[in-house]
A and B are shown apart, each in its own frame.
Chain A
């Protein structure tokens, strides 16, 4: 295994306004044996503050689209326009499967778009696949 695989110390940032959905994602990551610290931002604004404040940038960002205030799309846009953040893989994880959302997100630079399953078992399966892909297979960038 190379060092370029996502290291255990790199946090996963989950941007999600629903406490229930965040808890579910967190539990799903635990079930998938994720060892990385998980950080939670309740809103787009909080996510951007976290990203600009934190010493260690997350290795990956999970982003919901439907949030009050700064919505997911705008948050995505701001991340992908920032030279210090654009390299971080952003996985859109949201209930919508609307073609316009999917297309808009990829156009804005989302690395992947995943429809969030509504049932917990489905969510575990999706998170597990996500973890296996990004943490055990794909190569990730270092900080610029």
Chain B
């Protein structure tokens, strides 16, 4: 396999206010043999703070972003990430329950790399995580896999 594929080393940032949803996502990761280090931020603000403070070695390789969060919502968080020259390169997967066309359109317009509707049942979630893994970790090349010289 090409060394540039994100193996088990690239960390994933999950931005999700619900502990239940976060736990379910982690369980789904395990079921799909996704063992990448994960960092959890419970809010958009926390995510921005984390990203701004992250050194090169702790920058996540991928962000899973929920839209419906109190305080700074997902859309605003996405906007701030994609407008920041130091952060915009990180692929952002919007993973949210909303299938509302306006949310989808807005997210792509702001620069979301992709938009996936989060299934409400656990089996559906496992399937979704499996599909994400197959695409983002086995087909796509992610940026900054290796340390910059």
Contacts and interface: CB of A to CB of B under 8 A. Distances in A.
Contact of A129 (B111, B115, B135): B135
Contacts of B88: 106-107, 109
Contacts of A86: 108-109, 111
A80 B141 CA distance: 19
A144 B116 contact: no
Interface in B58-101: 85, 88-91, 99, 101
B121 interface: no
B140 interface: yes
Interface of B: 2, 4, 85, 88-91, 99, 101, 104-105, 107-109, 111, 113-117, 128, 131, 134-136, 138-146
Contact of B145 (A99, A129, A133): A99
Q: State the 7 A-B residue pairs at the shortest beta-carbon distance, nearest first.
A: A141-B108, A87-B108, A133-B135, A106-B89, A103-B143, A141-B105, A107-B89
A140 B104 contact: yes
B104 A115 contact: no
B101 A4 contact: yes
Given A113-B140, A129-B134, A139 B109 contact: no
B101 to A, nearest CB: 6
Contacts of B90: 106
B115 A138 contact: yes
Contacts of A138: 114-116
7 contacts: A4-B99, A86-B111, A106-B88, A115-B141, A129-B138, A132-B131, A141-B107
A97 B4 contact: yes
Given A137-B116, A138-B114, A144-B109, A97 B2 contact: yes
Contacts of A115: 2, 4, 141
Interface in A41-77: none
Contacts of A106: 88-91, 143
Nearest to A128: B139
A109 B135 contact: no
Contacts of A139: 99, 104, 115-117
